[in-house]
A and B are shown apart, each in its own frame.
Chain A
Amino acid sequence: MSKNYQPGPFHPASAMDYLPLSQLRDLQFQRLRAMVQRAYDRVGLFRQRMDARSLKPAHLETLDDIAKLPFTVKTDLRDTYPFGLFASPLAEIVRFHASTGTTGKPIVVAYTQEDLNDWAQVMLRSFAACGVHRGDIVHNAYGYGLFTGGLGAHYGAEALGASVIPISGGNTDRQVMVLRDFGATAICCTPSYFLHLIERAAGMGVNFKDLPLRAGIFGAEPWTESMRQRIEAESGIKAYDIYGLSEIIGPGVAMECLHQAGPHIFEDMFYPEIIDPETCELLSDGSEGELVLTTLCKRAMPMIRYRTRDITSLNSEPCACGRTLRRIRRIGRRSDDMLIIRGVNVYPSQIESALLAVEGAQPHYQIVVDRQRGLDVLEVQVEVTAELFSDTVGGLEKLQAKLSRSVESVTGLRAEVRLVAPHTLQRSEGKAKRVIDKRKM
C-alpha cells in the first residue's frame, strides 16, 4: 500500500460483506466441504459421529446438506479437554485461549497463524462496519489474557491500522484519565462496564460528551435496546453490538453496521442456522430459536454445527447498508443456565463446586446477580448448617472469606458471600431456585 493511500470510509476487507448472495452461498459450500473433510480426517470425535450416521464428507452435495451433520456442544469441548478437538498438530498452533466451562475445567481453543489472520480480518471488518478506520484511536478495555475479547479486538484494530490503547480491564479511574488525555475515538468493552465508566467519569468531573469518543463496540454479555439508548443519551457516542464466542473464534462472529439494526454475521467465515433447542428441528429465517454456528475456515479447531445456546433469530431482509450478510436479532437469553457476569461466563454448577470445596459446606445456596451503578454484582447466599456454624463472629467471618475466595478461584469473579439461616432460600417444587437475576436489561 503506498504512503499516499488515503483511508476512506470503505475498507477493502469489507468487500466480502457485499458478495452477491449466489456467490456467497457458493463460497460457503466450497469452504464447508473442505472444512468438513479436514475435520473428518483429523478429529476423532467428528469422524466417529459422522461414521455413526454413515456420513462421508463427500455426501455433502449442497449447502443445505449441512443439516445432515451432527451437532457439537459445549460438553464435547470439556470431554476432550484440553486438546482433543484440535485438527492441527501442536507445532502449527500459535495461540491458545480459554473460557470457563460448566464444571470449573476451562474450555480450551486454539489458533494457527492463518486462524489468527482470519480472526484479525473479521475484527477489522467489524470495526470498519461501524465506521472505525485508520486514524482512529481505539481504547480496548476488554480483558487481555485467556479471554478472547482483549487480544481479538487488539489484533483487529491493529490490522485496520488504528492506534490501539491496550488498556485491558480494571482500574476505572485510570481508564477515565486515559480516555480523556489520549482522546480515544472508539472504545471496546462490555456495555455494563461502559455504563460504569460513564458514572465514574462523572464523579471525576469528566463528561463523555466533551470527549472525541464517538463509537463503542460493545459485547461479551447480553444487553438491550434500552441500555443502548441510555448509553447513547448519557455519553453522546454510538453504541454498536458485537457478537462472538471463543468456541467459534472469539469476538468478530457478527457485528452491527452504522444502521445499528442487529449484528451482521460474517457468513463467508461462519455459517449460521437456527434450530428449535428442544427438538433440534431446523427453523426458517425469522423464527426464534437457538443459534448454531459452523466455522468455514478454522484450521486448528474447526467447529461443526456448534450449539451456542444463544436464543435469537436470523434476519435475511436487506439492510440499508447494502451488506448481503444476514443479521441476528439481539441476544437476550440462553437455552442453558449460563450467566454472563461482567463479561465472564459462569455456570451455577461452578459456584456449587466452589462452595463444596470448603469443608463442611452443603449445596444450599442461591446466586443473586444484580447491577449496581452500572456494574454486575455477584452475591452468593449460603445457608449456615450445623457443620458450618461456628459460635464466634470471627469464625463466621472467616467462613465467609473462605467461601468467597473459593468462588473467586473457580470463576475468576469476586463474589460477596452472605450467610443466611437454613431453609430460607427459595425452593420451588422441592427444587432449589439457584439463580436470581435482578439485572434489568
Chain B
Amino acid sequence: MILKQLSVFLENKPGTLSAPCRALADAGVNIQTFALADTQKFGILRLVVHEWEKARRVLLEGGWTVKVTDVVAIEVSDTPGGLASLFEVFERASINVEYMYPFTAKQEGKGLMLFRFDDPDAAVKALQANKVSVVGTVELFKRLGN
C-alpha cells in the first residue's frame, strides 16, 4: 500500500527545474505526478515514477541529492465534499499530513491524491479501518496506464 516517492533538492534559481526532468526523460522515465515545494532560497521537487529505483540512480549519477520517501495514494470522490470527508477521517484517526498533491488521472468519478503522512504505516491501517480506498502500487500504475 506504500508508494515510493523521490525528493530532489533544488536551489531556487533559473534552470534548476528542467535539468533533472531532462535527465529522467533521456533515461525513458515518465513522471506520473509531481509537486514542487519552494522557499525563497531552495525547493524540493517531489516525483512519483513507475521505476523509482532506476530514476533514483539516474538522478544520483547526475549529481542530485535524492531522498526516497514513503507516500500513500488514496482515492477521493470527485464530488463536493469528497476531500472534506477524507480529512474528517484523518482528524478522527489522528493522522498527521505533512503534505499532499494530486494525480491528474481520474476514473469513474474518483480522483487520486498522494499523501505524505508522518507515520505512513499507521496511516494506512487507520484509513483501511475507516474504509478509505487506499491504492497500491500495482493498481496505481495499472490505472496510470503502465
Interface set of A (CB-CB < 8 Å, partner B): 384-386, 389-393, 396-397, 418-424
Q: Contact between A422 and B39 (Cβ–Cβ < 8 Å)? A: no
Point out the residue from A385, A391, A419, A423 that lies within 8 Å of B42, measured CB to CB: A419
Q: Nearest 8 CB-CB pairs, A to B? A: A391-B7, A384-B9, A391-B69, A389-B65, A423-B63, A389-B67, A393-B37, A384-B65
28 contacts between A and B (CB under 8 A): A384-B42, A386-B67, A389-B7, A389-B9, A389-B66, A391-B7, A391-B44, A391-B69, A391-B116, A392-B44, A392-B99, A393-B37, A393-B39, A396-B42, A396-B44, A419-B42, A420-B11, A420-B42, A421-B9, A421-B10, A421-B64, A421-B65, A422-B9, A422-B63, A422-B64, A422-B65, A423-B63, A424-B11
Minimum Cβ distance to chain A for residue B101 (Å): 13
Name A423's closest neighbour in chain B (CB-CB). Answer: B63
A421–B46 alpha-carbon span in the complex (Å): 15
Chain A residues, CB < 8 A from B65: 384-386, 389, 421-422
Minimum Cβ distance to chain A for residue B41 (Å): 6
| Chain B facing A: main interface SS | strand
Interface set of B (CB-CB < 8 Å, partner A): 7, 9-11, 16, 37, 39, 41-42, 44, 46, 63-67, 69, 98-99, 116
Chain A residues, CB < 8 A from B11: 419-421, 424
A389–B65 alpha-carbon span in the complex (Å): 7
A29–B44 alpha-carbon span in the complex (Å): 68
Instruction: Count A-B pairs with CB separation below 8 Å.
Output: 51
Point out the residue from A390, A397, A418, A423 that lies within 8 Å of B67, measured CB to CB: A390
Q: Contact between B44 and A386 (Cβ–Cβ < 8 Å)? A: no
Name B60's closest neighbour in chain A (CB-CB). Answer: A386
Minimum Cβ distance to chain B for residue A301 (Å): 45
Name B42's closest neighbour in chain A (CB-CB). Answer: A419
A397–B16 alpha-carbon span in the complex (Å): 20
Q: Contact between B10 and A386 (Cβ–Cβ < 8 Å)? A: no
Name B39's closest neighbour in chain A (CB-CB). Answer: A393
16 other contacts beyond A389-B65, A392-B99, A422-B65, with CB at 8 A cut-off? Answer: A384-B42, A384-B65, A386-B65, A386-B67, A389-B7, A389-B9, A391-B7, A391-B44, A391-B116, A392-B37, A393-B37, A393-B39, A396-B42, A421-B10, A421-B11, A424-B11
Chain B residues, CB < 8 A from A419: 9, 11, 41-42
A386–B69 alpha-carbon span in the complex (Å): 13
Point out the residue from A386, A392, A397, A424 that lies within 8 Å of B66, measured CB to CB: A386
A389–B10 alpha-carbon span in the complex (Å): 11
Chain A residues, CB < 8 A from B7: 389, 391
Chain A residues, CB < 8 A from B16: 421
Name A393's closest neighbour in chain B (CB-CB). Answer: B37
Q: Contact between A397 and B39 (Cβ–Cβ < 8 Å)? A: yes
Minimum Cβ distance to chain A for residue B20 (Å): 10
